[in-house]
Amino acid sequence: MSRLLDLRKTPGAGRLPGALGCVAYGHGVQLAGADVSVGLKVFGAEAEAHAWLAEGPFTEGTLDGLHYRHNKDFLFGWISLGEQACRPGADMSPLETVSRQAYDAVFAVQAQTGFTHLLRCWNYLPGINIDGGGLERYRQFNIGRQDAFIAARQAWLDGSPSACALGSAEGELVVYFLAGRHSALPIENPRQTSAYRYPAQYGPRAPTFSRASLLRLESEEVLFISGTASIVGHESLHLGNVREQTRETLRNLDAVVAEANRHAFFGRFETRKLFLKVYLRHAEDLPVIRETLQHALGEGLNVSFLLADVCRAELLVEIEAFGFLDAEPAC
Ligand code: 3EB
């Protein structure tokens, strides 16, 4: 059965023919043929390409610095903006300015192409935990992102897309995303305060994302789980303890999966069968995180490990996930 969307991990490879979009992860390497490169170290390979496969034909374009490719059902878009070259708006930091610009471009492309439903956004910003002149840079990003959602009259509370936001050592702000013609069901985690309702102690503007989004298509269901960390309610737990942070993160993932399963139509998602991306702050934590994951979920996981800063300085690990359920094959 052909899939509308299929995620393939191809270590070191370039763009696959038939890819709606191809993302390369790797520090200091450019993969020929990838649409967008994210400068994070990958464990176990020099680089990894993650390709979203979908049925063609494809149409490509560029608008306001944002590149996109779409078939009849899905649009993949990507933009990379440097802060040096930007002209900050009045009372706006360079990062806030480029974050606003990136999301303004996302919504402009959506309006022009008709792929009006934002499904999943990936955000990578240099120095995410660094003070940007009175405000942590992640918090500056949150202002620019939320302003763009509000200006474009996009759902910025309930109904916002699933997302992740990670820190790279250097480089530009990189945003890539998937959009569709139909809305996904936003899923929240009953163990956690919705991120868009975080209190002001985490920054003047709350982050704009849902814990997960569940998309039902004719022959499959697709689940995008946002970056998930050791947060219960709105508080970070297990400070300094990477094993316990990993275990709490897995409890949160299971809770989101259970919540998604209340709405799933074609069966049940299982955490251990999802495609997992694990972001770790310290390379030396890899053995503990890997062992904790295998202990909880078993061997044979489909998992990538990436070195990245997580958006709260005390968080040591964050996990995002993606999965499918096929419709019963018609015989
Ligand atoms: C959290 O739960 C951890 O700002 O887009 C996770 C997923 C996190 C997405 C974002 C941030 C984002 O708050 C951080």
| Residue 320 alpha carbon to ligand 1 centre in Å | 10
Per-residue pLDDT, 30 = 76
From residue 36, give the alpha-carbon distance in Å to each of 4, 32, 85, 295: 21, 10, 19, 34
Question: pLDDT (tens digit, 9 = 90+) per residue, 64-75?
Answer: 999 999 999 999
Q: How do the domains of the chain map onto residue ranges?
A: 5-326
Q: Is 195 in the pocket of ligand 1 (CB under 6 A)?
A: yes
State the pTM of this model: 0.96
Per-residue pLDDT, 32 = 75
User: 5-326 in CATH: which number?
Assistant: 3.30.1330.40
Q: What is the pLDDT along the chain (331 residues), one digit of tens a residue?
A: 335 577 777 766 666 677 999 999 999 887 778 899 999 999 998 899 999 988 889 999 999 999 999 999 999 999 999 998 777 777 899 999 999 999 999 999 999 999 999 999 999 999 999 998 889 999 999 999 999 999 999 999 999 999 999 999 889 999 999 999 999 999 999 999 999 999 999 999 999 999 999 999 988 999 999 999 999 999 999 999 999 999 999 999 999 999 999 999 999 999 999 999 999 999 999 999 999 999 999 999 999 999 999 999 999 999 999 999 988 765 5
> Which of 149, 191, 226 for a ligand 1 pocket mutation test, highest count of atoms within 8 Å of Cβ?
226
Tokens of 289: 């995180």
Per-residue pLDDT, 328 = 75
| Residue 110 alpha carbon to ligand 1 centre in Å | 23
Question: Which one of the listed residues 48, 172, 220, 318 is annotated catalytic?
Answer: 318
Per-residue pLDDT, 269 = 98
Residues 6+ apart with CB under 8 A from 29: 37, 46, 47
Per-residue pLDDT, 13 = 61
Phi, psi of 107 (to 5 degrees): -70, -30
**Other Cβ atoms within 10 Å of 203 Cβ, number:** 18
Residues 6+ apart with CB under 8 A from 91: none
Q: How far apart are CA 324 and CA 159, in angstroms?
A: 20
| Residue 296 alpha carbon to ligand 1 centre in Å | 23
Residues 6+ apart with CB under 8 A from 235: none
Question: pLDDT (tens digit, 9 = 90+) per residue, 30-68?
Answer: 777 889 999 999 999 889 999 998 888 999 999 999 999
* Minimum CA distance residue for ligand 1 atom 14: 311
Nearest to 145 by CA among 180, 195, 178, 101: 101
Q: Is 209 in the pocket of ligand 1 (CB under 6 A)?
A: yes
Per-residue pLDDT, 331 = 57
> Which of 136, 164, 252 for a ligand 1 pocket mutation test, highest count of atoms within 8 Å of Cβ?
164
235 assigned to active site? no
